Amino acid sequence: MPFICRKADTFTEMFLALGKINKDGGFQYYYLHDYQGTLFSRPGVTAIWGRNNGAGRQKNYTFDNYNEMISKLSRILKKRIESGYRMFYSYPRESDLSTLVETLEKREVS
C-alpha cells in the first residue's frame, strides 16, 4: 500500500476528513486516521464523527493486517459518500484512499 509508511516514529500516516450539510443547515463531520503504536503492534483506524464541531463520537478498529484495514476503510468510505458526505481534506493529498473517495464522489454525482 503506497500511502502507508511503516516508520517506527510515525503514528499517523493517513487522515481523511469528510463532511456534509444536514437538512437543518448544520455541519456533520466524519474523520478517519490510521495508527500503529509501534513497529510490532497491529494496525488500526480511528473514526470520529459528530455535528457542528461538537464533541462527537469515536470508534477504534484494529486489524490483523493492512489489507483488512483497507477493506474496512473502503466500506466505511463508500457508505459515507452514499449518504452525502464529501471529502474536504486528505493527508497525504494523493493516496489510494483519497483517490477512492474521489471516484465514489464522481459516481454518486453522475
Q: Which tops the pLDDT comparison, 104 or 27?
A: 27
8 A C-beta contact, residue 61 and residue 71: no
pLDDT confidence of residue 84:
92
Give me the pLDDT at residue 38, please.
65
Whether this model's pTM surpasses 0.85: no
DSSP 43: P
State pLDDT tens for residues 32-85: 988 876 677 788 899 999 998 778 899 999 988 878 888 898 899 889 999 999
Three-state DSSP class for residue 32: strand
> What is the residue extent of each domain of the chain?
15-109
Residue 95 confidence (pLDDT): 65
